[in-house]
Amino acid sequence: MDREEFTNFYAAAFGRLVGQLYAMTGDEAEAQDAVQEAFIRAWAHRSRIDKAGAPEAWVRVTAWRIAASRWRRARRGSALAALGPRPEQVDGPGPDRVAFIAALRKVPAEQRRALVLFHLCDLTVEQIATETGAPAGTVKARLARGRAVLAPYLTAEQSATPAR
């Protein structure tokens, strides 16, 4: 991946990945920082990405690990480093969205990750298993448990077992 290809990839995928990470982490600033840091690492290790293929998945996995690592550090009381520009002040979400986000935050991190990969990134259970390193059965269980937590906010058809 040369500089131009990487720049195009960065421009096309940054916002999408921030959205996905936000849904996984529940923290917009943290999601943006993690994705940005993941892109920096992606450029530094671009030859590795070329070999592995699927650069967007590589950045997403790396950003998730960065975010998870920061959670662990935060739990130990370390200060989080501010690496990039924080989002500007924006209009607040509506009541439904607030309730949904609040519910999403109640879902354990790995279950939330599985939900986002399945519903937002359109990955199959097998693909999620590959990306997360968990067995397919575990992924299905996480999806089911995650949906159970979110059940009050979902329509009836969403509580079905994943078919993909």
Question: Which residues have C-beta within 8 Å of that of residue 30, sequence separation ≥ 6?
Answer: 21, 67, 70, 80
Sign of the torsion angle spanned by Cα atoms 162, 98, 19, 64 = negative
For binding to other proteins (CB under 8 A), which residues are involved? 1-3, 6-7, 10-11, 14-16, 18-20, 22-23, 28, 31-32, 35-36, 39-47, 84-85, 87-88, 90, 93, 96-97, 100-101, 115-116, 119-120, 147, 150, 153-155, 157-158
Indicate the residue among 115 and 129 with the shorter CB distance to other proteins.
115
Indicate the residue among 77 and 156 with the shorter CB distance to other proteins.
156
Q: How far is CA 122 from CA 22, 85, 116, 118, 119, in A?
A: 16, 29, 8, 5, 6
Indicate the residue among 79 and 160 with the shorter CB distance to other proteins.
160
Q: Reduce the DSSP state of residue 113 to 3 states and report it.
A: helix
Indicate the residue among 79 and 96 with the shorter CB distance to other proteins.
96
For the CB of residue 77, give the shortest distance to other proteins in the complex, in Å. 26
